[in-house]
Structure 1
Amino acid sequence: MEEEFRVLLKRVRAELVSPAEFTAYERLVALVRTDGRAARDALAEVLVAPEQPLWAREIAAFALGVQGDRRAFETLVLLLNYREPVRCATAAHVLARLRDPRTARAAAALATNPLRTAYALYPVRLLSELRAPESVPALLSTLERLLAARDHCWPVARACVEGLGTLGDRRAEATLVAAREHERLRPAAVLALARLNGRAGVVRSGRAPRRG
């Protein structure tokens, strides 16, 4: 069982308060540790059954997602844009490994939604990791909106800058130059622009580029 899943189980267990919850938790963990199609089908039922607690859906989605079972997709997308960052991080981790073709489109929709900017950090990071056709346009759209907004939402803006640097697409150059004018984005923007121009190693080391 991978370390991320152990961390998830430890976190969920710490949230439980009643004997009934502990019993349900132990039953679900036993199901996760059972091989075979029947066990996966039972986990998929947890995702859609009424009155299931969020932690149960999260465990089931993680277990199915890392096995490549796309029935986990909808629940993972819901968690990707949840109000608790730790759940967003877990969902992003699994979605990156699920390889569902709908993932990039869903992450782009979450990242660019101006009503959900406060929860866009992990969708933005996921887009950077996926390197999908939707990634650069979504990161550019989000960053340009944040640069123009009164509330810049610095963590999300910085994640966009870092992602655009990682993706290395020259369409981002003008927007990264604009981001460089903001003190809190300047270090990330300088590095991202250097990556676009093939000079990231020079910027990191602090060495001046050679001339001539």
Structure 2
Amino acid sequence: MEDEFRALLRRVRAELVSPAEFTAYERLLELAVDGGPAPGAPAAADRADRLAGILVAGEQPLWAREIAAFTLGVQGDRRAFETLVLLLNYREPVRCATAAHVLGRLRDPRTARAAAALATNPLRTAYALHPVRLLTELRAPESVPALLSTLERLLAAPDHCWPVARACVEGLSALGDDRATRVLLAARSHDRLRSLADEALARVRGG
């Protein structure tokens, strides 16, 4: 069991309040955690189908959908995609971070386009940090244009949303694309971005 999944389970368990929730949680773990062959245990394909059913069934708590999506996503099951994108855009940063981790593992071809749409949406800037970081990790054709668009907008905005702006500069530095030169030069005019922008420019220019 990987560390991220353990952290997810600890977080979810801390949210539970009723005996019914604890019972549902334990039953879900029986599907999500592969304990190896055991008498009466469902086969892997059956477990995956049951987990996928949780994603589309009505009245399922968010924590159950999150555990199911995580389990399917790290196994490369693209049925988790829609739920993971929903969580990537969620109001709680910890859920966004978990979703971004799994989407990076899933490698669904739709991921970069979805992350770019979230990162560039001016109405969702407060939730754009993890989509920006995911775009950097993916190194997809959508990555550089989305980071440039987002950073350019933030530089001109009254509220620069510094964490997202810094993530854009760091992402452009990691991607090393010379299309970023103009926007990185503009970023140098802001004290909070200058040193990062200088590092990014050196990398973009091959220095």
Q: TM class by shorter-chain length?
A: over 0.9
**Alpha-carbon distance between aligned partners in 1 of 2:202 and 2:14, rounded to the nearest angstrom:** 44
Question: Equivalences for 1:122-141 in 2 at 5 Å?
Answer: 122-141=130-149
- What do residues 108-127 of structure 1 show as CA deviations (whole Å, max 9, x unaligned)? 00000000000000000000
Within 2, Cα distance between the matches of 1:74 and 1:181?
39
* 1:40-88 Cα deviation digits (max 9, x unpaired): 0000010011010000000000000000000000000000011000000
1:146-161 to 2 correspondences below 5 Å: 146-161=154-169
Unaligned residue ranges in structure 1 (runs of 5+):
200-212
For the pair 1:116 / 2:124, whether they are aligned, the reply is yes
Moved over 3 A (4+): none
**1:193 paired residue number:** 201
Instruction: For structure 2, list consecutive stretches of 5 or more residues without a partner in the other structure.
Output: 35-42
Alignment coverage as a number of residue pairs: 199
Q: What aligned pairs does 1:1-212 form with structure 2 within 5 A after superposition?
A: 1-34=1-34, 35-199=43-207
Matched residues in 2 for 1:49 and 1:29: separation?
17
State how far apart, in whole Å, the 2-side matches of 1:71 and 1:160 are: 29
Q: Deviations over 1:96-140 (max 9, x none)?
A: 010100000000000000000000000000000000000000000
Aligned partner of 2:37 in structure 1 is none
Give the TM-score of the pair, scaled to structure 1.
0.92
Using the aligned pairs only, state the percent identity: 80
With structure 2 as the length reference, what TM-score do the two structures score?
Answer: 0.95
Q: What amino acid sits opposite 1:126 in the alignment?
A: L
Please name the residue that 1:206 is paired with: none
Hey, what's the Cα distance between the residues in 2 that align with 1:33 and 1:83? Answer: 27
Task: Please provide the CA RMSD for this pair.
Answer: 0.8
Separation in 1 of the partners of 2:18 and 2:44?
Answer: 30
Q: Distance in 2 between matches of 1:197 and 1:170?
A: 7
d(CA) in 1 for partners of 2:176 and 2:88? Answer: 25
Q: Match of 1:180, as an amino acid?
A: R
